[in-house]
Structure 1
């Protein structure tokens, strides 16, 4: 071993000799590799391309150019290009048209991921498989030309290729991965091309392929993942009778024994449908985006309606829920813009979050069994005018009636402990509200943007008012059901609540008059409240306003107490 004596008489190993030894070792390894006929993963550069070489074949690992139109070279540094490596072109923002050369037999995962300007690409016959996320998020990609037949398309290969219009699928295709074509909104895939040779169709494989068409025929050997055809434009999806998991009837998917309705094809042309009486459960997303469906008959056998079950059924205009349903799941009828009326069952216990958001309900008659309402349940029902919450309701989540701009009359449950965040935000027609005794909190933004709100009745139990609870309102009068000394200890957040604090506050008890007919004085009806207040109304006006009925109810030519007796008995 070489040693060097330093001037202090100490012996140390030469650093220079270490470097020499390392170079010699590297040279020996290189010679050994070359002599064995292999050059392993050597990083090289040619023009705008970076590549590696293995077994005398080049794999492109990166592209550093800025071309808009690119023909990928078939050779780099004298080596044939066999692969496009993982992420080689990902996030490129200039490429618009690409041609992949013959000889390339593999395109790696994310090879063209998020090339947002890419509009078309040509693949050679040597490419038979597309790896995961190969073209995912290529939002401008319109056309993929495959010279050969693709046999396998792995997960998310075309996910969110929202402009993709066509791709030729052949009988050679055997595998379609999860989300392979999900969110390809414009793609016009003929579902009849899904032949019996396909062994796997992944979860959400064709989700949101709105313009897909035709009837899919699924063999008994094909494994199909959940939501594979959700919001897919297929007119029918037929399963072989020997399929171990699913069955079908008229192109509608059920579980094997038809107790669950799994998928009603979004492209089905029928406007009406009656669910078979064998069905106990409507699965999540079962009717999602059923574009032509106007009317649905749900039998008493159904007890479960899943999340998003009827969401975005754009033509659905009325629903009668059977008494067997006691819970409505989240988003059950969300974004049904033509839905004007819903008949709620008498034993309904809960309405899920967003259940009727973005619908067109005009009135809601909630049953006395109802206990809870989820957040945003009736959000943006612009034509809803009245809401009566039965006293059975003890829990109402945030933003339930937000942006119900025509809502002018609200009756809250007497057992509601709090008015939650944003519950009535932007209900621009609401002019007065009674917060019942027992309620302790009015949370932030609860009445924010109620531009017509002039009077509010607040309970003696109120302890807290959150920020912006009454911002952008026209409060003039506040009726507080207790003394001023108690009002002054309520925790009122000062942010955005100036309208509440500036209004005229009336202290002491408040009473709402509930009049009933107490008699008839000539042609005037007399009404009296339990508090002894009374008023009179002309008999003919009262009758006509309430139903355009004749004043002379017994048709004897005289308006008198006999007509009044008929009124009390029948009206």
Structure 2
């Protein structure tokens, strides 16, 4: 039924028919209105039903003018393009009405095949430029579906043939034991031997080996044994990054070795590079904490050393007699420098010591003939014997107030040193501390000093002031004319150095002023001619004078005379 038919039918309904169908009674107005209301309601229901049919019919029509829509019923999926490892596939399905639905198919995973060796490792490549070059091999893994390369790995060089090996105590690894039957002069040690890792170079393996020019160690090697390469003709070596131990004297006397880089993890043994006369350059990697004693002793041509910030200690004689070493930066992390660590570094010109250093050990910079300046940090409390002895070019030294003890010969024979300020708080000046400092013109002796060793200022002719038979530095009596028999110390003298009159055979009478507070060790010892010490004070004051050990040992019978007339028979 179309729209026109519905509305024609509604128009043809005669209301009178409805009224005639009812019994013909005289109706009240109320009943009449009720009848017309019912008729109106029926009419509305009919119209609503008609409109619903119309709109439902329009909603099912194809907007393109075709047949009405229906629910698609698709068939099975059919693959129209196969997927691969590198390209998506496609599948479709059809409805009876001809509608087609398309869907992609995911990439397939690679299907790894067996490893394929693309390049064999070699022992030697006979090329004109380098007839002994070694190269690793290469193996690759490909996808069996698409042929794409999935992975590749280097095959370690097969290494030099004929080397001798020994099984390690763990029974699972090998050590290189020596040159064996190998005729190569450029050795490559392989990672594996008989299917087991090579993890060490045996003690003395290449000791005194004269055919050795270079050696490359694999990353599997963690230890180089004692004297492993000692005295060999080795020129260069590549140490693995994972190396843990370099044994004592491992490379000592390798007098052709030119440079070395020591990995961060390595612990260096004593004398490891001692006597490597041709060694010019050393790099210690960040992470190394200690340089063992004598490590680079007698490396005469060593010019450059790179020390890491991780370094904590430098062992005794570590750079002894590295005569070409011109400069070295000691990192602030260093807390100790051993005895004679830089002795005989004749080209070293300047040095700045780290702030954490507590003391300068015996002979640390002795015989550094060209050393011109030194800055000593404020944390140092002791400068020990001969620390700067024979530093002929030393012009200035800054000594902080933290220093309380200075040993014997600290600046002995520093012939260019002109002036020095000793720190307040210094208590001891060691013997021969400034002996031979002929250019020295100015030294202050702090009030805190209680002892000065014998000959502390011997040969300091520009410094010593002579008055009578006594030579003075400040208010200390430091020398005496050996021919004098009657000696008078000037007023204001506070101390006598050790052995001031020791074994002076002619001294008979000595006048000591009341100002004297310190008499050094053996100051009046072994004086056979001594008859009288006249002290210009009381007996109590004399007894209060601080006297050093054996101050009058083996002297003949003498008297100490006081003011007023008090006598002490000794």
Q: Give the TM interval when normalised to the shorter protein.
A: 0.3 to 0.5
- Normalising to structure 1: TM-score of the pair? 0.44
- Normalising to structure 2: TM-score of the pair? 0.44
